[in-house]
Amino acid sequence: MNFSLYDFTPFNQWIDKFLHSHMSSFWAVAVEMTIIGLAILLFYALVGLFLVYAERKVCAFMQNRVGPNRVGPYGFFQTIADFIKLMLKELVHIKNADQLLFNLAPFIIIIASFMAIAAIPFAKGLHAIDFDIGILYVIAVSSLGVVGILLAGWSSNNKYSLIGAMRSGAQIVSYELSVGLSLVTIIILAGTMQFSQIVEGQANGWFIFKGHIPAFIAFVIFLISSTAETNRGPFDLAEAESELTAGFHTEYSGIKFAFFFLAEYMNMFIVASIAATVFLGGWMPFHMGGWAAFNHIMDFIPPFIWYIGKTFFVIWLMMWFKWTFPRLRIDQLLTLEWKYLLPINLVNILIMAFVVLMGWHF
């Protein structure tokens, strides 16, 4: 296969060499980090804004509506207008709130999602850092967000917020397990935890096809539990707007609310990109065995487009869930995890191990 067309590695190496030849290695690394940081920040903001717009459009179409269509063509700049509005809004000062934690909570949430995005490979050579234990790192970091939610709920001095935060604590601790185990299923198949190698391993077929039944089950479980982990409907118990008004972020306003809002969408983007990377081949093009011409055409589509396309497909699936299903109750949420997802997951790992052992995968 020929991926050299869109390989970013030479480009990266060229920048690296260029910087090192002009300054000391400390400053070179510092400049590189700044560039990467700024690039990710920009990407983060753009994706966040776009996802908010996309969600509003998707839900509007599912509900026989038009959705935002006033600001810009097809309402494309609606979220930018919203963002400006949120920036200008008053930050409500809460009496008797724990000021330090109250102000810290949105940053914890946003930093957690920010850290997770660093390990995700967008294309060949286009990732901030390629850990040996990439999957483990992403799982660990993305579960930090719950600390922010708990702090937000606790420090707001609001009863709704507290209930929402406690619900979210129980929820994320439980569903973290399923997310991890469903990824373990694929780790067994891939034999590695490094994202770049997982993607390389899917050059001749995505894992969801290679691992057929157990991989598909793992994909479905991952979708369900990652939806739950990102606090999205039908698992949005922490917000539960018809019960707890807005749950843990009831008391937040202005830019702090915008952080929560943005982090929700970025978390969704992160889990969707993990799903795309691990199950749907990441930036690997879609290939059909034996169709050389077809495969060649597919290769010409840049890997970044493949990656974004797959990610947005998963995000669309998650939006579809949210805008169709009613919300679960807290006990049913835990029943679903402990009585259904977890046992199925464990059996599924066993099946996957057996499949890999017998070489029944493609």
Binding site for another protein (CB under 8 A): 58-59, 61-66, 69, 159-160, 163, 167, 233-234, 236-237, 240-245, 320-321, 323-332, 340
Give yes or no for a contact between 119 and 128, defined as CB atoms under 8 angstroms apart.
yes
Q: Which amino acid is at 170?
A: A
Bridge partners of residue 123, in order along the sequence = 126
Return the number of the residue (310 or 327) whose C-beta is nearest another protein: 327
Smallest distance, Å, CB 328 to another protein?
Answer: 6
Smallest distance, Å, CB 124 to another protein?
Answer: 33
SS3 state at 126: strand
Smallest distance, Å, CB 85 to another protein?
Answer: 21
Return the number of the residue (127 or 322) whose C-beta is nearest another protein: 322
Give yes or no for a contact between 253 and 90, defined as CB atoms under 8 angstroms apart.
yes
Return the number of the residue (294 or 325) whose C-beta is nearest another protein: 325
Smallest distance, Å, CB 355 to another protein?
Answer: 20
Smallest distance, Å, CB 228 to another protein?
Answer: 13
Return the number of the residue (127 or 232) whose C-beta is nearest another protein: 232
Q: What share of the chain is helix, strand, coil (3-state, %, to 5)?
A: 70, 0, 30
- Give the chain's end-to-end CA distance (angstroms, integer): 18
Return the number of the residue (111 or 344) whose C-beta is nearest another protein: 344
Q: Is the dihedral of CA 190, 196, 202, 208 positive or negative?
A: positive
SS3 state at 123: strand
SS3 state at 354: helix
- Report CA dihedral (198, 200, 201, 204) to the nearest 10 degrees: 140
Return the number of the residue (43 or 61) whose C-beta is nearest another protein: 61
Burial 176-197 (b: 16+ CB within 10 A, else e): bebbbbbbbbbbbbbebbbbbe
Return the number of the residue (61 or 338) whose C-beta is nearest another protein: 61
How far apart (Å, rounded) are the C-alpha atoms in residues 155 and 150?
A: 8
Smallest distance, Å, CB 177 to another protein?
Answer: 19
Could you tell me the two tokens for 58? 């998707």
Smallest distance, Å, CB 319 to another protein?
Answer: 10
